[in-house]
Structure 1
Amino acid sequence: MFSSENVFYFQVGLGVLANMFLLGFYIFIILSHRPKSIDLISCQLTFVHIVMILTGGNIIHIDIFEALNVDNGIKCKATLYTQRVMRGLSICITCLLSVFQAVTISPSNSLLAKFKHKLKKHTINVSLFYIWFFNFSLSSNLIFYVSGFTNVSQTQQMKVTKSCSLLPMNYIIRGMILTMTISRDVFLVGVMLITSTYMVIILFRHQRQCKHLHSIGHLRVSHEKKATQSILLLVVFFVAIYWLDLIISSTSILLWMYNPVILTVQKFVVNAYPTISPLVLISPDKRIINVLKNLQSTCH
């Protein structure tokens, strides 16, 4: 008989292993070959998801910090701050990935075509730097409003884990933080939906054109088509999971309540996207199979 805890740890194990495999592949590509710009984006997204899975289940909090004998308040601040930053990075980098692919597949006569020459490694690296800086700054309030849970004045604290809680904050400050976070997320989700719709239109037009072309021409673009389809699937899945998580987390914050059942459900929801995403990214990338074949031939 499987308990929710066993299922949760299975989800965590699958997510970490899949992301570690994908991260190792991207590191190999970056160090051994000339990586594509999309590889730099996907590599950081994979790293973010590894940390996100570990902090999402408070595994780092339980295993690593316990061994270091660190004060419970510091454990909570570090864990929840990292968790919130990783969540923000996940949505931002996924959005960047969606925008990048939309520009990449845009026809030469489209408005986005003029941005193709700007999609260089330097531009991607600068964008990623600002994304990291923005999310580290936006979530900095948790450093001040998170502490270890105590039995003193329990009505003034909201438990977010078994040993961590949010301290009471001014309604104005809470409203401002919630507004900024939701505004960021709504904007990025909106951009993802727009770019996804654009990519669907491009794929639909390409499919109609392929009916009048030879099979050779179709095979030449099939790899880019598969990559686009995988990113579309990634975005759609992310948006669905995001809104579900937003409803759960916002309800908890606004009602200032703690419910173990809601927390358990939220853990599964939070880890769903980073667990599935590496499987989606691996499936259309034939380079992974080629790299594994080369490693196998080298070993023999």
Structure 2
Amino acid sequence: MCFILDIKMSTLPVYVAVNKYLLSQTGFGISANTFLLLFHILKLLQDRRPKPTDLTTCHLAFVHIALLITVLFLFSPELFELLSFWNDFKCKALFYVNRVMRGLSICTTCLLSIIQAITISPSTSWLAQFKNKYTLFILYFFFFFIWLICLSFSTSILFHTVATSNVTQTNLMLLTKYCSFSPVSHGFRGLMFTLTTSRDVFLVEVMLFSSAYMVILLLKHQRRSQHLHSTSLSPRSSPEKRATQTILLLVTFFVVMYWVDFIISSSSLILWTYDSVILSVQSVVVHVYATVSPLVLISSDKRIFNMLQQCTTEKLLILTGW
């Protein structure tokens, strides 16, 4: 039975529209992440003792840039053809990097939520002991560890991703115009699915646990504030509170998008078939977090607004001759 993906004429306009939206979303996401990455690199160079959250945010922006670049090459035939390698190598390399960066995205988001939970924990909390022990060396170790985990978990992609034009088999699962997945035994497919799912579910549970902990701390802080301030006053939230709310928003959005992608990809792997429109929609869902996350981080960081305001003021002074 043939399971090769076929773009039917009735679904072609929808497929083209979703694909164009995916490419425009990707381009916008690369621009936003590049701005976020450059800003945090500048802050890291200026600060003698950089904050763990700044380092982690910088790492997250870099991961999302690499992730979205692979999307541009995979779903844009013109860019795919620009790479002067044979198609089989291009498919393996692009899908491998894409899968590694997706794993690093969830790991880094989880790490960011843990760091923020430690940062806002009170001195009486059991997490407070990690504030003094939490050094840059430990953070670099975690970066090395999650890179090692993601690189090793994605090696199966190198063996089962092939260029469609180079293979005569008819039971391929076509992923893009040029790349497909070759048949995988049910046992190996189940093993890799179990390992990857176990890793992702564990990280999601850690994110939910740290998020619940931060919500409890925010509620306690709000109750104390109500005792200290009259109800008519509305004191501005502290930078720690704004940062915590940002992380909570990111985690919530990531978890929702993860489970939507999980449902689509699980059904496709079980049936070993993909509809062209569903594939494009899944790609939008998978990579929308990489596009939205820098916007959330930029909008919640007052340092960025202060920098932009300062640059605008300096330009106005130069134009007016002051």
TM-score, length basis structure 1? 0.92
Map of 2:83 onto structure 1: 68
Distance 1:99 1:178, change over 3 A: same
Q: CA shift at 1:294, angstroms?
A: 4.4
Counterpart Cα distance in 2 of 1:61 and 1:126: 36
Counterpart Cα distance in 2 of 1:23 and 1:94: 15
User: Relative contact order, CA 8 A, sep 6+: which one is greater?
Assistant: 2
Map of 1:13 onto structure 2: 27
Counterpart Cα distance in 2 of 1:195 and 1:169: 37
Q: CA shift at 1:229, angstroms?
A: 0.1
In the alignment, structure 1 residue 263 sits paired with structure 2 residue 279: yes
In the alignment, structure 1 residue 227 sits paired with structure 2 residue 243: yes
In the alignment, structure 1 residue 204 sits paired with structure 2 residue 232: no
> Secondary structure in 2 aligned to 1:283?
helix
Q: CA shift at 1:133, angstroms?
A: 1.2
Map of 2:9 onto structure 1: none
Counterpart Cα distance in 2 of 1:202 and 1:248: 35
Map of 1:88 onto structure 2: 103
Q: Conserved in 2, the CA contact under 8 Å of 1:22 and 1:278? A: yes
> Secondary structure in 1 aligned to 2:228?
coil
Counterpart Cα distance in 2 of 1:31 and 1:294: 19
In the alignment, structure 1 residue 175 sits paired with structure 2 residue 190: yes
Residue by residue, what CA displacement relative to the aligned partner does 1:242-266 show, whole Å, maximum 9, x if unpaired? Answer: 0101111121112111210111111
In the alignment, structure 1 residue 244 sits paired with structure 2 residue 260: yes
Counterpart Cα distance in 1 of 2:210 and 2:155: 30
> Secondary structure in 1 aligned to 2:238?
helix
Counterpart Cα distance in 2 of 1:68 and 1:87: 22
Counterpart Cα distance in 1 of 2:80 and 2:177: 15
> Secondary structure in 2 aligned to 1:212?
helix
Q: CA shift at 1:117, angstroms?
A: 1.2
> Secondary structure in 2 aligned to 1:147?
strand
In the alignment, structure 1 residue 187 sits paired with structure 2 residue 205: no
Counterpart Cα distance in 1 of 2:169 and 2:239: 59
Map of 2:228 onto structure 1: 213
The farther-off stretch of 62-71 and 226-235 is: 62-71
> Secondary structure in 2 aligned to 1:208?
helix
Q: CA shift at 1:62, angstroms?
A: 4.1
Q: CA RMSD in A?
A: 2.2
> Secondary structure in 2 aligned to 1:154?
coil
Residue by residue, what CA displacement relative to the aligned partner does 1:38-82 show, whole Å, maximum 9, x if unpaired? Answer: 111000101111121222344587455522321110010011101
Length, aligned pairs only: 298
> Secondary structure in 1 aligned to 2:58?
helix
Among 163, 170, 173, the alignment partner of 1:154 is: 170
Q: Conserved in 2, the CA contact under 8 Å of 1:100 and 1:119? A: no
Distance 1:49 1:160, change over 3 A: same
Map of 2:45 onto structure 1: 31
Q: Conserved in 1, the CA contact under 8 Å of 2:77 and 2:177? A: no
Q: Structure 1: 5+ residue runs without aligned partners?
A: none
Q: CA shift at 1:214, angstroms?
A: 4.7
**2:241 partner letter:** K
Counterpart Cα distance in 1 of 2:149 and 2:78: 29
Q: Structure 2: 5+ residue runs without aligned partners?
A: 1-12
Q: Conserved in 2, the CA contact under 8 Å of 1:54 and 1:60? A: no
> Secondary structure in 2 aligned to 1:66?
helix
**1:236 partner letter:** T
> Secondary structure in 2 aligned to 1:90?
helix
